[in-house]
Structure 1
């Protein structure tokens, strides 16, 4: 696509925009259509995003309330508070995108066009970076328990989170920079005007948002498994199930999005309206968006009191996070004891 269009070329521009996923950064597949949303795929996308918005605001809001106000501040609560904030901010912007899908008309201005794309990409980077940080933190706690016990503090964890958000914001700038709006008759379109940088943006997003985090997390988990087996601490691995689920869910939700984005780069311009590919784009976008509301329900699912109906949903979230905090302390104490015995024996 080119960035220079005259007023007489808006019809050609609209046709070009129809050939691309104009909202891939927003994780919402906006289908350009005449009039309001009537197609089955469009209606399904709207309904699903409304559900994500409601569940995401409620679930992540609950986690923010619990980790930020009810529980004692710790390293673990700092990690989960950051994850919840990232997802909550993204979910809060969904009504704007839902309105755009329904009306096919962007009425929120250029700033919001750029800001929504920025928020979505920020959500992706900040979420995966926090998951990487948690994996590294778990690895250090088990591998170097004495150092971890002396150095791991909530204040230092907060500083690490701020740095992760700062890097995430820097990597999200291209998503906002290449976002633009254009008028066509009485319709305003918010789209990605990549010029000749589409491939650079896609591969940068794949490298820093998936590949490097995946390799880092895989390395950390390999070290963890070896260390836990060596110390015969298998009975304390249950808290790691929460992190395993969070990480698995993230990659399950985002991997299709990255794959589709790469395929789109190499897709023939002669077949831009392939219905199968368009459906794949919609499903990948929905999966990516869904990741923003799933985490709170994973906390509740993994809590010990899952089967106790007398506990509320909030209690389950608090129980899951508190359980991991206490287990992390027990793990460190036991590992210290093992290491001390070994040192004495030597």
Structure 2
């Protein structure tokens, strides 16, 4: 008997795995689930505390700037995602969904809202960095906190719109003595495929192309400069982008493979569970990247100071740009161009 292709846990974990596996294999799967539960609990604790610190630093302690606007929005997205992890941890540990239909729709919505908002913000930041190198004078006149806030708001609106399928297709049903949360795409694969493919294209493929293009232009533009090392914000954003793609690419691959296969392959099921945990880990890593990418990491003892140092480039960047424009030669100084990156 074939398992239902459209049934998943709240974090896209399949629920209709054939229950005829021998006892030793079931024990192995159980042990793996315990490990994933423990890992997700650690991710939850680190994500809440780390992103909470970033929100406090960028939203309260530091003066509002374009950079802190980017980082604050990213941290808010990750914080909300991590705050919802306990629901998925309970689901993972019990193989049941005791939280009702509303939360069945809401928790996956948060997952994809985090995915889309994070990648759209990274796209905006990459375009911002590219424009700062290619058109420094124009950027100096138009790169404002207000403009950054408008772009962030638009990114969140589009992210919410693309996350709506979770509200539409998520449903609950009772199987035996358990209630499960699953994707109810109805009969047939086309709707399921359209949703998965649109998420891959809008939430990964197109952003990947845009970001790659932006950083290629930046590298080519700076190739002839005397600067041989990347500036601090360039390193921070490069690390954030690489981390995002490393964490999300396996998930998209396994989801596409799962839709393509008519049966639930055990390797694909395992890959989905592990890759979904990797996705959760992405929301925890960003605050630590801010800290370890700080310029004065070896000299600074406080984690808070490291994070603040990693996000505090705008003030110094603005002063450097202003000094470079005194002689109407803004784009001729390699140091000035690198500061914009």
What TM-score bracket applies, with the shorter chain setting the length? 0.7 to 0.9
How many residue pairs end up in the alignment?
323
Judging changes above 3 Å, is the alpha-carbon distance between structure 1 residues 231 and 26 closer, same or farther for their aligned structure 2 residues?
same
The 1-side partners of 2:71 and 2:331 are apart by 34
Gaps of 5+ in 2: 20-27, 333-341
Q: What is the aligned partner in structure 1 of residue 156 from structure 2?
A: 165
Judging changes above 3 Å, is the alpha-carbon distance between structure 1 residues 160 and 342 closer, same or farther for their aligned structure 2 residues?
closer
Q: What is the aligned partner in structure 2 of residue 66 from structure 1?
A: 57
The answer to whether structure 1 residue 150 and structure 2 residue 141 are counterparts is yes
1:104-132 Cα deviation digits (max 9, x unpaired) = 22111111000001000000000000000
Residue from 296, 311, 314 that aligns with 2:301: 311
Q: What is the aligned partner in structure 1 of residue 25 from structure 2?
A: none
Q: Which moved more, 1:180-189 or 1:245-254?
A: 180-189
The answer to whether structure 1 residue 215 and structure 2 residue 209 are counterparts is yes
The 1-side partners of 2:166 and 2:134 are apart by 38
The 1-side partners of 2:197 and 2:250 are apart by 14
1:18-63 Cα deviation digits (max 9, x unpaired) = x66613x7266778799xx981111011101101100000000000
The 1-side partners of 2:321 and 2:218 are apart by 13
The 1-side partners of 2:171 and 2:143 are apart by 44
Cα shift at 1:298:
0.4
The answer to whether structure 1 residue 127 and structure 2 residue 118 are counterparts is yes
The 1-side partners of 2:155 and 2:315 are apart by 25
Cα shift at 1:268:
3.4
8 Å contact kept, 1:139–1:220 = yes
Cα shift at 1:66:
0.2
Q: Aligned to 2:179, what secondary structure does the other structure show?
A: strand
The 1-side partners of 2:115 and 2:149 are apart by 19
The 2-side partners of 1:342 and 1:169 are apart by 38
Q: What is the aligned partner in structure 2 of residue 7 from structure 1?
A: none
Gaps of 5+ in 1: 1-11
Q: What is the aligned partner in structure 1 of residue 321 from structure 2?
A: 332
Q: TM-score of the superposition, structure 2-length normalised?
A: 0.87
8 Å contact kept, 2:67–2:314 = yes
Q: TM-score of the superposition, structure 1-length normalised?
A: 0.85
The 1-side partners of 2:48 and 2:125 are apart by 23
Q: Aligned to 2:173, what secondary structure does the other structure show?
A: strand
1:310-340 Cα deviation digits (max 9, x unpaired) = 6221111111111x32454366347646862
8 Å contact kept, 1:28–1:289 = no
8 Å contact kept, 1:231–1:335 = no
Q: What is the aligned partner in structure 1 of residue 23 from structure 2?
A: none
Q: What is the aligned partner in structure 1 of residue 8 from structure 2?
A: 22
8 Å contact kept, 2:77–2:114 = yes
Cα shift at 1:16:
3.3
8 Å contact kept, 2:257–2:268 = no
The 1-side partners of 2:288 and 2:80 are apart by 17
Judging changes above 3 Å, is the alpha-carbon distance between structure 1 residues 120 and 186 closer, same or farther for their aligned structure 2 residues?
same
Q: Which moved more, 1:188-197 or 1:242-251?
A: 188-197
Judging changes above 3 Å, is the alpha-carbon distance between structure 1 residues 187 and 338 closer, same or farther for their aligned structure 2 residues?
farther
